[in-house]
Amino acid sequence: MALVPAHVILADARRRGYGIPCLLAGNLEMTIGQIQAAEELDAPLILAYNSGVTPQVSIALAMPAIANAARQARTPVATILDHGGTLDEVKEAIALGSSSVMFDGSALPFEENVQATAEAARLAHVAGISVEGELGAVGGSSVELGASDAAVSSMTDPDLAAEFVARTGVDVLAVSFGNVHGVYRGVPRLDLERVRAIAALVDVPLAMHGASGLTDDQYPPIIRSGISKVNYYTAMARAVSHDLRDMLADAPEEGLVYHRIISASIDGFYAKTKELLTLLGAAGMARNL
Tell me the per-residue pLDDT of 47-57, one tens digit each, with 9 for 90 and over. 999 999 999 99
**H helix or E strand, kind and range, residue 174:** strand 172-175
List, in sequence order, every residue forming a beta bridge with 78; answer none if it has no partner: 46
Q: What is the predicted pLDDT for the residue at 150?
A: 43
The single-letter DSSP state of residue 283 is T
Give the chain's end-to-end CA distance (angstroms, integer): 10
Closest CA to 47 of 6, 103, 89: 6
182, 140 Cβ separation under 8 angstroms = yes
Q: What is the mean pLDDT of residues 141-164?
A: 68
- Strand 139-140 vs strand 180-181: parallel, antiparallel, or unpaired? parallel
Q: Is residue 28 part of a domain?
A: yes
The CATH number for 25's domain is: 3.20.20.70
Residue 37: exposure state from Cβ atoms within 10 A (0-12, 13-18, ≥19)? buried
List the catalytic residue out of 12, 42, 82, 171: 82
Report how far apart, in Å, the C-alpha atoms of 251 and of each of 145, 248, 277 are.
29, 5, 31
Is residue 192 a part of any domain in this protein? Answer: yes
Instruction: Assess contact for 223 and 201: CB atoms under 8 A.
Output: no
Pairing of strands 45-49, 100-103: unpaired
Phi then psi for residue 232, to 5 deg, are -140, 120
Which pLDDT tens digit goes with each residue over 77-136? Answer: 999 999 999 999 999 999 999 999 999 999 999 999 999 999 999 999 999 999 999 998
Residue 231 lies in a domain: yes
3-state SS, residue 207: strand
Active-site annotation holds for 82: yes
Split into its structural domains, the chain has a count of 1
Confidence of residue 28 (pLDDT cuts 50, 70, 90): very high
Q: Is 245 exposed, middle or buried (0-12, 13-18, 19+ CB in 10 A)?
A: exposed
Provide Rg for the chain, Cα atoms: 18
Residue 282 covered by a domain: yes
For residue 1, being part of any structural domain is answered with no
Q: Per-residue pLDDT tens for 253-283? A: 877 899 999 999 999 999 999 999 999 999 9
Whether 34 contacts 270, CB under 8 Å: yes
Q: How confident is the model at residue 185 (pLDDT cuts 50, 70, 90)?
A: low
For 242, other C-beta atoms within 10 Å of its C-beta total: 11
pLDDT classification of 211: cutoffs 50, 70, 90: confident
In a domain, 250, yes or no: yes
In this model, does residue 145 exceed pLDDT 70? no
Please work out, in degrees rounded to the nearest 5, the angle formed at the alpha carbon of residue 23 by the alpha carbons of 100 and 17.
Answer: 80
Query: Percentages helix, strand, coil for the chain, rounded to the nearest 5?
Result: 50, 15, 35
133 is a domain residue: yes
Q: Which residue range forms the structural domain that includes residue 23?
A: 6-288
Assigned domain for 147 exists: yes
Instruction: Report the alpha-carbon distance of residue 225 to residue 228 in Å, rounded.
Output: 9
Q: Which of 139, 124, 109, 87 is nearest to 6 (CA)?
A: 124
CA 247, 248, 253: angle at the middle one, nearest 5? 125
Q: Residue 133: its pLDDT value, please?
A: 98
Q: Can you give the pLDDT at residue 59?
A: 97
Q: Which has the closest alpha carbon to 199: 233, 235, 223?
A: 223
CA dihedral for 238, 276, 49, 172, sign (positive or negative): negative
